[in-house]
Amino acid sequence: MTEQKIYYKKVRDFGQVFGACFGFIKQNFKPLYGSLLFFAGPFLLIVAAVSAISFGSNMAINRIVRGGFDEIFETLLIPYLTILGVGMIGITVYNVVLNKNIIENETLQSNEKLTIGHSMKNLWTDFTRILGNSFLLGITIIGSLVVLVVIFGGIISVIGEGGGGGAIGLAVILVIILLFAMLIFGPILSFVPIAAMFVCQRDHIGIFPAIGKVFRFMKDNFWITWAVSFVGILTYSFLSWFAQVPVFIMTLISTFSRIKDIESSGVEGFDTSTSMTFIIVSTICTLLTYGITVIYHLIVIYQYTNLEEKKEGQSILEKINQIQ
């Protein structure tokens, strides 16, 4: 029996959203990950390698021991800028290609298979559109964070000036409220940008109209969307942590060995190199983490399109009833 092809235009319940995610990966594993590796892989590989070389387990300790934090800033500025620039391009290509796989799969017949070639359709146009809109979204998020920091900083400052146990109590309450707000709105704030970028690419609209569209379809479905996103984040976090276990182990081993080197030979005899094995393992684990990110991305898209289909399907039924 042929497995039914997975399309995003379908109303799904909680479990079916996750089933569609893993089903899509199963059906399109080779073209999906093949296209991501081919188009986004080189950029992500550069970012992972530079991060491992410049911010490896030995590097940070070496710079602190030898020259302090000023030395860290001067030496790691270029690697940091490289990671920032190449990383933004790589993540944009990654999102564009991943969304392209989902969008192009929707146009195929049930007996047609997705290929890497489908990812190349209007790739440059989609890339420039998403890159520009990602920049606008990033500026907006940074600006919003600055405003929030200033507001909370001002509130804490006013509370601190009051002094006494009451001020400490108010500060604790404020922190609890902040943590509670992060728990409630965090999964939604993770959900919205991914869904909005998908809508932006698919419907050829700007990021802010796309965000408005996401919120419109999410209306009256806040808590189910929160639950899907929350479980998706937990799934991603667990798998990502598991993928990074080799790096954690090597970091601990390397850190303890360097401390022994300092104790036995002093700062001058301290090895300043980062292990090639650590660089390779860290790079591979980072690429695996990018691969795992596909899971949460798909969960978000299938939840959004579920809300979209549910809302539009209801609108169509209402129009049919009006005609009758």
Residue 275 has pLDDT above 60, yes or no: yes
Residue 175 has pLDDT above 80, yes or no: no
What whole-number percentage of the chain has pLDDT above 90? 50
Of 60-64, 172-176, 226-230, 241-245, the range with the highest mean pLDDT is 226-230
* Closest C-alpha among 102, 129, 137 to residue 205: 129
The predicted-structure confidence for 77-115, as pLDDT tens digits, reads as follows 777 788 888 989 999 999 999 999 999 999 999 888 999
Residue 42 has pLDDT above 90, yes or no: yes
Task: Record the tokens describing residue 26, joined without a space.
Answer: 């199963």
Question: What's residue 263's pLDDT?
Answer: 53
Provide the mean pLDDT of the chain.
83
- As a whole number, mean pLDDT of residues 275-282 equals 82
Which alpha helices (H) appear in 55-122, and where do they start and end? 57-105
Question: What's residue 27's pLDDT?
Answer: 93
Task: Record the tokens describing residue 241, joined without a space.
Answer: 């942590």
Question: What's residue 145's pLDDT?
Answer: 86
- As a whole number, mean pLDDT of residues 212-231 equals 93
Question: What's residue 188's pLDDT?
Answer: 94
Question: What's residue 71's pLDDT?
Answer: 56
The predicted-structure confidence for 143-170, as pLDDT tens digits, reads as follows 988 888 788 777 767 766 655 555 666 7
pLDDT band for position 51 (50/70/90)? confident
Question: What's residue 76's pLDDT?
Answer: 66
CA distance readout (Å), 278 to 105, 241, 249, 275: 38, 17, 10, 5
Task: Record the tokens describing residue 4, joined without a space.
Answer: 């039914």
Residue 67 has pLDDT above 60, yes or no: no
Question: What's residue 153's pLDDT?
Answer: 73
Residue 45 has pLDDT above 70, yes or no: yes
For 206: left if phi > 0, alpha if psi spans -120 to 50, otherwise beta; the answer is beta
Between CA 290 and CA 306 the distance in angstroms is 25
Question: What's residue 72's pLDDT?
Answer: 57
> Which position has the higher pLDDT, 188 or 161?
188
What whole-number percentage of the chain has pLDDT above 70? 77
> Which position has the higher pLDDT, 79 or 123?
123
- As a whole number, mean pLDDT of residues 189-200 equals 95
Give 108's DSSP letter. S
- As a whole number, mean pLDDT of residues 58-80 equals 58
Q: At what angle do helices 57-105 and 276-323 cross, to 10 degrees?
A: 30
Of 64-78, 153-167, 236-250, the range with the highest mean pLDDT is 236-250
Question: What's residue 66's pLDDT?
Answer: 53
Helix, strand, coil shares, percent, the chain, to 5:
85, 0, 15
Question: What's residue 240's pLDDT?
Answer: 93
pLDDT band for position 324 (50/70/90)? low
- Rounding to the nearest 10 degrees, give the CA dihedral for residues 48, 240, 90, 88: -90
> Which position has the higher pLDDT, 290 or 75?
290
